[in-house]
Amino acid sequence: MPDSQDSPNSYDARGGPPPTSLWRVLTETVIGDVDGLAWMGWVIGAVALCVGLVYVFAYVLG
């Protein structure tokens, strides 16, 4: 499997900023390159999702 990190992606093609560190971590999670950072990214994403859902429910019900 060739290293796809060196190939230009849609962000660079549009001239926009490169993917953020969190996006890179989630991408590496899918690819499976860095296990430690990948798990950290999934944990941070899950916690952020739960907190967001709690705020949404509190706003709707409150």
SS (H, E, C) the chain: CCCCCCCCCHHHHCCCCCCCHHHHHHHHHHHCCCHHHHHHHHHHHHHHHHHHHHHHHHHHHC
For the record, the structure tokens of 53 come out as: 């859902």
CA–CA dist 16, 61 (Å, integer): 39
Identify the residue with better confidence: 51 or 9. 51
Q: What is the tens place of the pLDDT at every residue in 11-47?
A: 445 454 555 677 766 666 666 555 666 677 788 889 9
Note the pTM of the prediction, 2 decimals: 0.39
pLDDT at 11: 46
Domain boundaries, the chain: 19-61
For residue 24 the two structure tokens come to: 């890179």
